Amino acid sequence: MSVRQKWAVREGGGTTSWFDVRLTFADGARVDALAVFCGDGVRVEDVRAEPALSLDDLAVLAEWLEDPLFEACVPASGRGSPASPRRARPAWPRGREGSRLVAREYRAAQEEGADAVLAVMRATGHSRRKALRMIGQARDEGFLTPRRARRRTTETC
């Protein structure tokens, strides 16, 4: 992820700053956003994504952008103590227990008609890539059905 200041406007006693934000994923997907910071907070004004984002993905996008934008936008003096509280990733068990819980989240989302990968991302606090890896592990351990059924070829003589 990269965050860089695009421009700033001083007006009265305050400054409004715009930032370009770019998220690039290993699979080639890209999200570009324009964020604005004025005295009362940070807002995302424009988002462009390739491929397009769903509404659920937009909700997760805000969480992904929060800390980097905060670091870039808020002056160090306004951040408070160096040990200011940040949102922590939820505790998630490892091994078979973690895979079992991933499978449970995945199936629950499927039953509701929601994005199952996004549900795992929210539950674990991990990125899409890590969530997909965890789903794959759950499949390998037999908690989820195989992604693609292998076809047997029969030869007739």
Of residues 11, 64, 3, the one with CA closest to residue 38: 11
Q: Read off the tokens for 12.
A: 């009265």
Q: What share of the chain is helix, strand, coil (3-state, %, to 5)?
A: 40, 25, 35
146 vs 130: CA distance, rounded Å: 18
Match 């068990």 to its residue by tokens. Answer: 93
- Is residue 147 situated within a structural domain? no
Q: Which pLDDT does position 65 carry in this prediction? A: 73
Q: What is the pLDDT of residues 104-125, one digit of tens each?
A: 999 999 999 988 998 898 888 8
Reply yes or no: is the peptide bond before residue 68 cis, omega within 30 of 0.
Answer: no
The DSSP secondary-structure symbol of 77 reads G
Asked whether residue 25 carries a pLDDT value surpassing 50, the answer given is yes
- Is residue 150 situated within a structural domain? no
More confident residue, 84 or 89: 89
Residue type, 105: E
Q: Which pLDDT does position 41 carry in this prediction? A: 67
Q: How many distinct structural domains can be found in the chain?
A: 2
Q: Which pLDDT does position 84 carry in this prediction? A: 41
Match 């965890």 to its residue by tokens. Answer: 134
- Is residue 108 situated within a structural domain? yes
As a whole number, mean pLDDT of residues 40-60 equals: 81
Q: What is the percentage of the chain residues whose pLDDT exceeds 90?
A: 17
- Is residue 20 situated within a structural domain? yes
As a whole number, mean pLDDT of residues 14-27 equals: 83
Q: Which pLDDT does position 1 carry in this prediction? A: 73
Note the pTM of the prediction, 2 decimals: 0.43
- Is residue 41 situated within a structural domain? yes
Residue-range definition of the domain harbouring residue 130 = 95-140
Positive/negative CA dihedral, 95, 124, 58, 19: negative
- Is residue 105 situated within a structural domain? yes
Q: Which pLDDT does position 81 carry in this prediction? A: 42
